[in-house]
Structure 1
Amino acid sequence: MSGSTVSWASPDRESINGGIMAPLLETALISEHQRLGAKLTDFAGWAMPLRYRSDREEHAAVRERAGIFDLSHMAQIEVEGPGASEALDASFVTQPSTMPIGRARYTLLLAQDGGIIDDLIVYRLGTCSFLIVANAANRLVVRDELAARARASNDGSAVGVTDTTLHRALIAIQGPESAAIVRELLPKAERPILDELGYYRMSEVHMGGPVRLARTGYTGETGYELMMPASAAANVWERARKIGESHGLLPCGLASRDTLRLEAGMALYGHELGRDVSPKDVGLAGLVKDHQFVGRAALAERPQNWDLYGLEGAGRRAARAGCAVNLNGHPIGEITSGVLSPTLGHPVALARLTPGLSEGTAVEVDVRGKTFPMTISHLPFYSRTRH
């Protein structure tokens, strides 16, 4: 969730033939990123901070203290109306209709053939009101699919699908000190809300204006995501940075977010997830609930071709996406994401491999023509309860 294929390109938008492509979208915090000296990159059509300082320093800040991220490129799509629950049940592998108000749930949007269109989070805002946070690269297709499925539902006229992304902002504060920072952001009367805000829960709060505060994240740490009108983002960002100074908070970019999620064993759309795989192929079959949804019939008939595994190695050389994986000289799949883990100090990777392999199995990975041994390991590689 919470990303698409990571591409560290220049934010220039000139095409190969010299033509000018559409300008990059900018979040409400673009001037803050420029003031802080961020290196900007083109990410899913947005000018986003890749890093502000070293990737390792930003990664360590989140693991040890706290980091603040601008995630305003993530799609925010609101689905409302008397038929919203029914339409979303028919759209996702989970059943949003069963969620209490204030609950969030990770889910999948499938194509008719059972392939994964996107992984996303659905929040229940009210009896007939939901918020969908989807990957930036899939914003338009998710919006259009939800609108089409709403029209196809029994009472499609009673469902409104609105893409609010360009008018909203999303700021994440992640790490062991995140709760202390968010607490100071809240008015004193609302601070007890934090004590009751469980994992994958959301509450409406005030931080100089209305904010949707969710205990969610993509780092493997305790953390919060704050959703607000774009006009309020700069004030919340600056206040959080000022409060966070005494807690060791650093602004963090996409590069450290990617290494953090990989250590936490979290899938990334465009790497682990995509239209070419079903939930069965990536260890997400457990998400699928027994109800009618688009793709259910195909999913029931579709064989499991792959499974998602964690691999760990020795040394300092990381296997990257696309590296072939072999077992006793025979190909069994490939790496989907890999990095030299900043926290653990050795290479880790996620790989799409033949089903049925056991933890502890030794495999060989081809890294630029050289063979490196890795071992199938337990996921996640890192969690605060294990380290």
Structure 2
Amino acid sequence: MRVSLQRTPLFPYYQGEDMPAVRCIDFGGWEMPVQFYSIQREHDAVRSGAGLFDVSHMGEFEVTGPVAEAFLQRMTTNDVSRLLPNQAQYTLMCYPNGGVVDDLLVYKLSEDRFLIVVNASNIAKDFAWLHERLPKGVTLRDRSADMALLALQGPAAENILSRVTESDLKRIQPFHFQDGVLVCGRKALVSRTGYTGEDGFEIYCEAADAPVLWQGLLAAGVSDGLIPAGLGARDTLRFEARLPLYGQELSDTISPLEAGLGMFVKPGKGDFIGRDALVAQKTAGLQRKLVGIEMIDRGIPRAHYTVHAEDGRQIGEVTTGTQSPTLKRNLGLALLEISHTALHTEVWVDIRGKKLKAEVVPTPFYKRTKPKDEGAENG
């Protein structure tokens, strides 16, 4: 029996006659567009102008109550107490052994009200994980079904969004947001965050309002080359910027420290789930680490390809790999034994039964030039 896939409120709008090339796939139980035109074209649009993503499959939970902050402090690795209202924070939830339940964003709406945004494939798991540990005085509500999320990303994002809102977008700094912003005449939470390595906004709205925002933004961005973009370009963009994907760079067997996300782990804030294991891991020294690799021999590293030392012994595997659309280099992220993670170390990737030479290289592979007045993300 074929299980029917979930669809976002925008599905009918990217199945129209004006988008004949759109290709959808099963992504975590959702029928999502992997591309509208081509991955290369959509990737280039975000790097040079702007792209608009439907990411309404993501999960949103509302956490409220007088001890909501203390609850999130206990459940996540970052220091939620550092947040002021209208600030957002990247963080992770861990198992007691230090493996990752999920990575997520925490939005502080007010002193006792938070919105957390989780990965689509983990909605049910994350909700159960939080609900089972919910203390008295905290209410947890799954708002995923009644919210939609659009991501407007690229150097032209601010100019485009400014045409459909009267709010001063320059006041929304990275990892800050404003709620109740009128976008195309509809109320939305506008956040200066993203998953592409470019400037941009993530726009949360009521599901029923999503089509108005989708069509309004695309119309407003014509002169800037704005086009809809799918999950294929989203993946290549985040990969070049070394942003992790749960299930590849993060999992229940890969810790934040191994993934290079130690700056989002704050043992000094007090106890949280996974703290003891992560402190012990750091104290003992990492046994493996996520690094960038570039192929020397001709070949493209793909996820789950094994990586070997010169003597043929397996020392890890590729988590994500592709030919970089921006850099035109065959690159990968790989989780390797710590003894083979120094820059310029030669390793061999097994590509369809043939060992091909690569070397460890710096990451991120791509980093945009930020304006001098632009702040860093909230660590």
Same fold (TM over 0.5): yes
Task: Say whether residues 1:100 and 2:84 are aligned partners.
Answer: yes
User: Where does 1:94-243 land on structure 2 (aligned, <5 Å)?
Assistant: 94-151=78-135, 156=136, 158-187=137-166, 190=167, 192=168, 194-204=169-179, 205-207=181-183, 208-243=185-220
Deviations 1:199-228 (A, max 9, x none): 111112111121110111111111110000
Deviations 1:15-72 (A, max 9, x none): xxxx232x21111101111113321111111111111111111111111111000000
Q: For the residues of structure 2 that align with 1:280 and 1:34, how far apart are their CA atoms?
A: 41
Name the residue aligned to 1:61.
45
Q: For the residues of structure 2 that align with 1:200 and 1:94, how far apart are their CA atoms?
A: 14
Q: Is the 8 A contact 2:298 2:356 kept in 1?
A: no
Counterpart of 2:265 (choices 288, 293, 296) is 288
Q: 1:362 is aligned with what amino acid?
A: E
Q: Is the 8 A contact 1:314 1:346 kept in 2?
A: no
Offset of 1:317 from its aligned partner?
2.7
Deviations 1:60-100 (A, max 9, x none): 11111110000000001110111100100000011212211
Name the residue aligned to 2:8.
27
Offset of 1:244 from its aligned partner?
0.8
Q: For the residues of structure 2 that align with 1:96 and 1:143, how far apart are their CA atoms?
A: 19
Q: CA RMSD in A?
A: 1.4
Q: For the residues of structure 1 that align with 2:279 and 2:329, how far apart are their CA atoms?
A: 39
Offset of 1:309 from its aligned partner?
0.1
Q: Runs (4+) of structure 1 moved beyond 4 Å?
A: none
Q: Is the 8 A contact 1:85 1:96 kept in 2?
A: yes
User: Where does 1:267-278 land on structure 2 (aligned, <5 Å)?
Assistant: 267-278=244-255
Q: Which deviates more, 139-148 or 63-72?
A: 139-148
Q: Is the 8 A contact 1:69 1:252 kept in 2?
A: yes
Name the residue aligned to 1:5.
none
Q: 1:181 is aligned with what amino acid?
A: I
Deviations 1:278-297 (A, max 9, x none): 12221122221121111222
Q: For the residues of structure 2 that align with 1:175 and 1:314, how far apart are their CA atoms?
A: 31
Q: Is the 8 A contact 1:282 1:306 kept in 2?
A: no
Structure 2, gaps ≥5 residues long: 371-379
| Secondary structure of the corresponding residue to residue 90 of structure 1 | helix
Name the residue aligned to 1:342.
325
Q: Is the 8 A contact 2:197 2:367 kept in 1?
A: yes
Name the residue aligned to 1:10.
none
Q: For the residues of structure 1 that align with 2:358 and 2:76, how far apart are their CA atoms?
A: 36
Task: Say whether residues 1:309 and 2:291 are aligned partners.
Answer: yes
Q: Is the 8 A contact 1:185 1:239 kept in 2?
A: yes
Counterpart of 2:309 (choices 314, 327, 333) is 327
Deviations 1:142-174 (A, max 9, x none): 1121222222xxxx2x11111101100000011
Task: Say whether residues 1:353 and 2:336 are aligned partners.
Answer: yes
Counterpart of 2:226 (choices 239, 242, 249) is 249
Name the residue aligned to 1:74.
58
Q: 1:200 is aligned with what amino acid?
A: F
Deviations 1:231-263 (A, max 9, x none): 110000000000111110110100111111111
Offset of 1:315 from its aligned partner?
6.5
Structure 1, gaps ≥5 residues long: 1-18
Q: For the residues of structure 2 that align with 1:342 and 1:201, how far apart are their CA atoms?
A: 30
TM-score, length basis structure 1:
0.89
Offset of 1:332 from its aligned partner?
1.5
| Secondary structure of the corresponding residue to residue 163 of structure 2 | helix
Q: Is the 8 A contact 1:90 1:149 kept in 2?
A: no
Offset of 1:141 from its aligned partner?
1.2
Name the residue aligned to 2:300.
318
Q: 1:331 is aligned with what amino acid?
A: Q
Deviations 1:303-337 (A, max 9, x none): 53320101112476311011121222232211110
Offset of 1:298 from its aligned partner?
2.8
Offset of 1:130 from its aligned partner?
0.6
Q: Is the 8 A contact 2:295 2:330 kept in 1?
A: yes
Counterpart of 2:28 (choices 36, 44, 47) is 44
TM-score, length basis structure 2:
0.91
Deviations 1:107-141 (A, max 9, x none): 01011222101011111111111111110010111
Q: For the residues of structure 1 that align with 2:317 and 2:2, how far apart are their CA atoms?
A: 36
Q: 1:286 is aligned with what amino acid?
A: M
Q: 1:201 is aligned with what amino acid?
A: H
Q: Is the 8 A contact 1:315 1:346 kept in 2?
A: no
